[in-house]
Structure 1
Amino acid sequence: MSLGWTELHDLIGISPSQDHDFVYTGVSSLTDARSGEISFLGNSRYETQLRATQASLVLVPKGDFSSTPGCHLLLVDNPSVAFSKVIDYFHSQSALVQPGISPGAHIAADVEIDPDRVQVAPGVVIESGAKVGDGSIIGAGCLIGRNVSLGKDCLLHPGVIIREACLIGDRVILQPGCVIGSDGYGFDLVNGKHQKTPQVGIVEIEDDVEIGANCCVDRARFGSTVVGEGTKVDNMAQIGHNVKIGKHCLVVAQCGIAGSSRLGNYVTIAAQAGVAGHLEVTDQSVLAAQSGLFKSIKKPGVYMGNPARPIREEQRKLAALSRLPELRKEFGALKKKLEEPRGE
């Protein structure tokens, strides 16, 4: 696979300032790139790598940059975004698909699937009533449960489990070990014993969602647990039953979102943060790492701490706490002075 000069400009959405017959054969980092490959400068701190790279073309932001002889610098507004488009060209889902169903896969007779348009690895189990969209890749050992709907161009890495009746949109990526549709955590105390509450809802994963390795998204008690379009979930996150996550949110590693909470659009939940149940987080809010949220967020902003509060308030509190040792010394000195006997 190759990419010509004019095709490259069309791909990243800019007009060529001159004509060339350059042809590019792949992508790589500044340090690993070889002749014929494209790279990018995402941060000026790597300018020394730019001056030594063997890449044939580097996407760069505005600035005064230089490179090795034979390396062309192409100015773009956002090198990272432009480079992602180039990566997608060379490593697109359609290019990755090697159509066919492994003899080691077990697929129910009534599953809707086109063997000439999907890739199914050994050890996959697809149960009765399921639908698999064209262009999808299903890795080794995955389970797709009864009546699951899997959209087009999805990528399921090895060991993914999608339980019964869940709905997965187009271009969804599920990393190894994801469990979609596990039972929600619900118990009632009856006669001194914890009695399981039935969880009969489903999970809906909308288009262009990516969910990291070993995440769990619990099915709803009734209705749906929803992960909105374009949302990206990092590794080892827990999303409870009946949670509704809006569009284009970021949920970072080891987060927990308890049942029935709702996140708006473009919300960021940073690493190891926790959201208590039945809360609402408004659009474009940020919950900082290791924060604990116990009250709904109604105003966009950055929130931090446990319990979480607006970041400026939390920073003032932390600044005051950092002065406590000094204040204790001052207080001790004043107390000692006051206790000293005074002359008559």
Structure 2
Amino acid sequence: MNVTVRQLAEWVRGEVLGDPELAISNARTLGEAQPGDITFVENEKNLSAWHTSKASAAIVPASVPVNGRPIIRVADPLMAFASIVRHLRARPTAPHGDVSAAAHIHPTAKLAPGVTVGPLAVIGEGVEVGANSVIHAGATIGRFCKIGSETTIHPRVVLYDDCVLGDRVILHAGVVIGADGFGYRTARGVHIKVPQLGWVEIESDVEIGANSTVDRGTFGPTRIGAGTKIDNLVQVGHNCQIGKHNLFCSQVGVAGSAATGDHVVLAGQVGISDHVKLGARVAVGAQSGVPADVPPDQHVFGSPATPLQEQIRMHFGLRRLPELREEVKQIKKRLDAGSVRNDD
């Protein structure tokens, strides 16, 4: 597909500097771009890579100067580049409302207009699926689940019974929603399972990455708030109440009955203890362990997690330990020498 720089600028509402009629055939990143390609420069740190790039044009922020090649200035180069890639690499979309004859759909299930169901998908008794949702091949939807409109369920996703999904939810391959929580009582040396009789509610505009899990509540719901984005390989335990617009990076583990406020960020491999509450806008650094509540607007790090400035002071203190140890040895030598003279 060949387009001009001017056309690309119109797609992303950007300002063209340089030849607007230059033909562009593809979009690639700075390191891979070739003549005829457009690339993007996210910030001034990428300037040297832009100068050495073979790309014919670039999408840039306002701070990037002209270097002889056409540029398109926009407020957000990354998102503008993503939009251009979608245009240039567009593929025909699958038709809505195509229900495979190889799918198993219970007679009581209700599919709204435009629902697409792939081969070998299973939709159980009493399920309701909203308009224009897509259930890909091999997905399993348990009994009495409710799925909103324009929701996408990728291959091999499993929804246990009674799960509730809002509109525009995206569940990537291998996600499991509504499995039993890890709840046991020990009696006379035997672990006895506590029945997990609740469900999972996922609000609108949530995206959950591949092979992540959200366990059902013990008696009520485990909730994931609207707009929250969860990476691959994340575990959310039973009874958790996750706020709106949270970001959970890969390998996060949130133990049962924990709660987060809105706009919380958990970096990779963070662990949250059971019943812990994180306030709104809390950010937790990578590989941290959080054993206690954190008030709103705190940035914490470490295991156990403490405020970031405290961790920085501790880090520099630890770095000085060898020096301090040597100073203590020298002080001890002087004290010992003084003690000998006094004895004389």
Q: TM-score, normalised by structure 1?
A: 0.85
Could you tell which deviates more after superposition, 243-252 or 123-132? 123-132
Q: CA deviation at 1:155?
A: 2.4
- Consecutive unaligned residues of structure 2, counting only runs of 5 or more, are none
Q: CA deviation at 1:283?
A: 0.9
Q: Distance in 2 between matches of 1:101 and 1:32?
A: 40
Q: CA deviation at 1:46?
A: 3.2
Q: Distance in 1 between matches of 2:38 and 2:27?
A: 5
Aligned ranges for residues 274-285 of structure 1 at < 5 Å?
274-285=271-282
Of residues 286, 305, 310, the one that matches 1:308 is 305
Task: Give the letter aligned to residue 255 of structure 2.
Answer: A
Q: CA deviation at 1:37?
A: 6.2
Q: Percent identity?
A: 37
Q: TM-score, normalised by structure 2?
A: 0.85
Q: Distance in 1 between matches of 2:24 and 2:108?
A: 45
2:47–2:64 contact (8 Å) kept in structure 1: no
- Partner residue in 2 for 1:342: 341
- Partner residue in 2 for 1:263: 260
Rate the CA distance shift 1:56–1:326 in 2: closer, same or farther, 3 A: closer
Could you tell which deviates more after superposition, 43-52 or 300-309? 43-52
- Partner residue in 2 for 1:203: 200
Rate the CA distance shift 1:64–1:329 in 2: closer, same or farther, 3 A: same
- Partner residue in 2 for 1:215: 212
Residue deviations 1:59-95 (CA, integer Å, cap 9, x gap) = 21012434665xx322111212333444566789x96
Aligned ranges for residues 234-273 of structure 1 at < 5 Å?
234-273=231-270
Aligned ranges for residues 151-190 of structure 1 at < 5 Å?
151-190=148-187
Aligned ranges for residues 5-44 of structure 1 at < 5 Å?
12=12, 27-32=27-32, 39-44=39-44
Could you tell which deviates more after superposition, 94-103 or 72-81? 94-103
1:51–1:68 contact (8 Å) kept in structure 2: no
| 1:73 is the counterpart of 2:90 | no
Task: Give the letter aligned to residue 61 of structure 1.
Answer: P
2:149–2:167 contact (8 Å) kept in structure 1: yes
| 1:109 is the counterpart of 2:107 | yes
- Partner residue in 2 for 1:58: 58
Could you tell which deviates more after superposition, 55-64 or 103-112? 55-64
Q: Distance in 1 between matches of 2:243 and 2:92?
A: 30
Task: Give the letter aligned to residue 299 of structure 1.
Answer: P
Q: Distance in 2 between matches of 1:313 and 1:292?
A: 15
SS at match of 1:81: helix
Q: CA RMSD in A?
A: 3.2
Residue deviations 1:147-190 (CA, integer Å, cap 9, x gap) = 11222222222211111111112222212211111111111123
Rate the CA distance shift 1:171–1:106 in 2: closer, same or farther, 3 A: same
Equivalent residue pairs, number: 340
Q: Distance in 2 between matches of 1:192 and 1:86?
A: 62
Of residues 81, 84, 91, the one that matches 1:83 is 81
Could you tell which deviates more after superposition, 143-152 or 20-29? 20-29
Q: Distance in 2 between matches of 1:223 and 1:91?
A: 45
2:16–2:73 contact (8 Å) kept in structure 1: no
SS at match of 1:342: helix
Rate the CA distance shift 1:90–1:172 in 2: closer, same or farther, 3 A: farther
Task: Give the letter aligned to residue 217 of structure 2.
Answer: A
Q: Distance in 2 between matches of 1:91 and 1:243?
A: 40
- Consecutive unaligned residues of structure 1, counting only runs of 5 or more, are none
